[in-house]
Amino acid sequence: MSDGARAWVLHVDLDQFIAAVEVLRQPELAGRPVVVGGRGDPTERAVVSTASYEARQFGVGSGMPLRTAARRIPDAVFLPVDAPAYEAASARVMETLRGLGAVVEVLGWDEAFLGAVTDDPEALARRAQQAVLAATALHCSVGIGDNKVRAKIATGFGKPRGVFRLTADNWFPVMGPRPTRDLWGVGARVARRLSALGVETVDRLAAAPVEELVAEFGPRMGRWYAELGRGLGPTEVDDSPWVARGHSRETTYQRNLTTPGEVEAAVRELAAQVWQDTAREGRAVFRVTLKVRYAPFVTKVVGRKLPAPTTARDDVVAAAVALAERLEPGREVRLLGVRAEMVMPDDGDPVERTPVRGRL
């Protein structure tokens, strides 16, 4: 298909990436339900990092407790998380994509945006699939869009191993009748808040008065959701080095924490670890967030912006401890997590946006 050369955004997403890496290492697992999470022991407290397509057919997915996954699929293969192996596989994939001559913006281990000027984005998508498969034996799906939002959402229609184009021309025919939950960045909680406004579908979101969305979500997010309903989004693909916005540490405890003293000690330990992570980068912390999962499985997140950015260990730890004081008294805790968000580098540093470039 040829539409004349123009700028396109492609979203490349590795199919069942972590499970696929494990199957490559153990070919005898092909076709079996594979669940990766924690230390690979479904009797311990941990959650699913990823599940093979065979496991997903039983309703097993990321974030589910391993114990629940084991009840659904007693004969599944449970494997521990091996981050170094996934990082190495991801690095090979990204290196391969860069060899295509497009701008590559890495989003994580298993996904990236490609930016290119071409008259045949489908051909580029297939080249990407073929190159990744030849170099790594991994399959991927590719979404094609006229911006990042549409490209990202398009990938879901292409899975597995396919290619799908989503642009302004077919946005409403494809997405209009779908629930808002199908939009990138709309989770269950936001979908419920939209539903309370009478907004159930994408086309209803696109037609919703902006002032109503702003009143519900605030000026920044309200306008963002209004644009999201119409499929609008950024078009620039940035290949500059990724810079972390923050660092997080979390632990699932094999025995519930039952006293305020236990919780405070655990929060102090996690906060100190997070501060060490930020100290290595030499950037100040401006916000601290505490995640708690109460027994049996209720998760809450609280956060606070610091009075001023700081590089002091005691300030970061004290902020986390203060957040712990806001937890519900008397409730047993099974998981805690601390996140510290850092001041980003000045404009002109590696995070500055760059336009799509390259002609294919």
Which DSSP category does 103 fall into? Answer: E
Nearest alpha carbon to residue 51 among 12, 88, 97, 17: 17
Which residue in the list 111, 211, 250, 264 is annotated as catalytic?
111
Phi, psi of 317 (to 5 degrees): -65, -45
Backbone conformation region of residue 247, classed left if phi is above 0, alpha if psi is from -120 to 50, else beta: beta
Backbone conformation region of residue 223, classed left if phi is above 0, alpha if psi is from -120 to 50, else beta: alpha
Question: Nearest-5° angle of CA 298, CA 300, CA 301?
Answer: 160
Nearest alpha carbon to residue 138 among 59, 305, 23: 23
- Report how far residue 60's alpha carbon sits from residue 43's, in angstroms, rounded to the nearest whole number: 16
Question: Which helix H or strand E contains 333, and what residues bound it?
Answer: strand 333-342
Nearest alpha carbon to residue 77 among 130, 111, 41: 41
- Report how far residue 45's alpha carbon sits from residue 151's, in angstroms, rounded to the nearest whole number: 36
Nearest alpha carbon to residue 282 among 348, 351, 344, 349: 344
Helices (H), the chain: 17-25, 53-56, 66-72, 83-98, 121-136, 148-158, 171-175, 188-196, 202-207, 210-217, 219-229, 260-281, 313-324
Query: Does the active-site annotation cover 111?
Result: yes
Question: Nearest-5° angle of CA 315, CA 320, CA 321?
Answer: 95
User: Which residue's entry shows tokens 């990744």?
Assistant: 132
- Cβ–Cβ contacts within 10 Å for residue 116, how many? 23
257 and 333 Cβ atoms separated by less than 8 Å: yes
Query: Residue 75 in 3-state DSSP?
Result: coil
Q: Which residues are part of the catalytic machinery?
A: 111
